[in-house]
Amino acid sequence: MQLLGHRKIENTLLYMHLANSIFHDHDDQYVSKVARNVQEAMQLIELGFEYVTREYHDGGKLFKKQKLLYLDSQS
């Protein structure tokens, strides 16, 4: 716990709970991309995409990234 800079795990759990309740959407939507080579895979990972599957027969690998839903600041 100290390695990550957390003083109290309770505070971390509280913030995680708040973030999950504010930003969690029951209809999870994802953006998907296919990487055909190592360079494309590296770019997707740097953009926050998550590796999903093994290699397909055509050599592509599937990545996903959750769509972010922003709260309307005017309401």
- Tell me if 50 sits within 8 A of 63, measured CB to CB: yes
Q: What is the pTM of this model?
A: 0.52
Q: What is the pLDDT along the chain (75 residues), one digit of tens a residue?
A: 446 677 788 878 887 777 777 766 555 788 899 999 989 999 999 999 999 887 777 778 889 888 775 554 444
DSSP class per residue in 29-51: -EEEEEE-SHHHHHHHHHTT-EE
What pLDDT, on the 0 to 100 scale, is given for residue 56?
76
Domain boundaries along the sequence of the chain: 2-66
